Amino acid sequence: MKHLYKFKKFNEVRLSDVLNIKSSKDDNVSSEIQKLKDVTFDFDKNLVKFITLKKRVNNKKVQFKINWNDTSKHDLKKRISDRTTFRTVEEFNNFFRETVNIIFPDYLGKDVLNTGRYSIYSIEYNISIIFEFNLEKWLKNEYEINIITVLPGRKGLDVIKIIDI
């Protein structure tokens, strides 16, 4: 019973309590936590424009061109900042690169069967990325996807399929 009480207390810890942690040797733990807390989303950084797949397709390296629906009326970086837990554009870019490498080419012919809009739902980050894919261009070795938007939760209005990763 005593251990259960300690575990419940551990679950009730506040962020301010965590920020007051001091390391026995030096102050690295609290300073690292403070740095993470103070990070602000840098809107000057660019979203990734090209992604080279880790797996080869027909013994060739494939480089995807990424077209973002990032306009003055649809500020995608602001939406990523507001709708996700990513702390930086680079953190989002790294996640997105990994996601594209999970989906392509393995999901082609399974979950991605036709030209159209799809939703990739990340269980870990609880976000959906809506994208357009053109199968005819893929067959002509023109590798590109259009990112429409990023949404919180598992969403996919007017999509062919929601792909859970």
Distance in angstroms (rounded) separating the CA atoms of residues 100 and 122: 12
The span from the CA of 148 to the CA of 70, in Å, is 8
Closest CA to 119 of 92, 151, 141: 151
Instruction: Tokens for 96, please give them.
Output: 């997105």
Give the bridge partners for 163, in sequence order: 120
Give me 163's structure tokens: 């792909």
Which structure tokens are listed for 55?
A: 């797996």
Per-residue pLDDT of the chain (165 residues; tens, 9 = 90+): 555 555 555 555 555 555 555 555 555 666 666 666 666 777 788 999 999 999 888 888 999 999 999 998 999 999 999 999 898 899 999 999 999 999 988 888 788 889 999 999 999 999 999 999 998 998 898 999 999 999 999 998 899 999 999
**How high is the pLDDT of residue 32?**
66
Q: To which residue do tokens 């061109």 refer?
A: 65
Report helix, strand or coil for 100: helix
What's the pLDDT score for residue 154?
Answer: 96
Q: CA 70, CA 92: separation in Å to the nearest integer?
A: 15
Q: Quick check: 76 and 150 in contact, CB under 8 A? A: yes
Distance CA 60, CA 83 (A): 36
Cα-based angle 65, 124, 101 (whole degrees, multiple of 5): 30
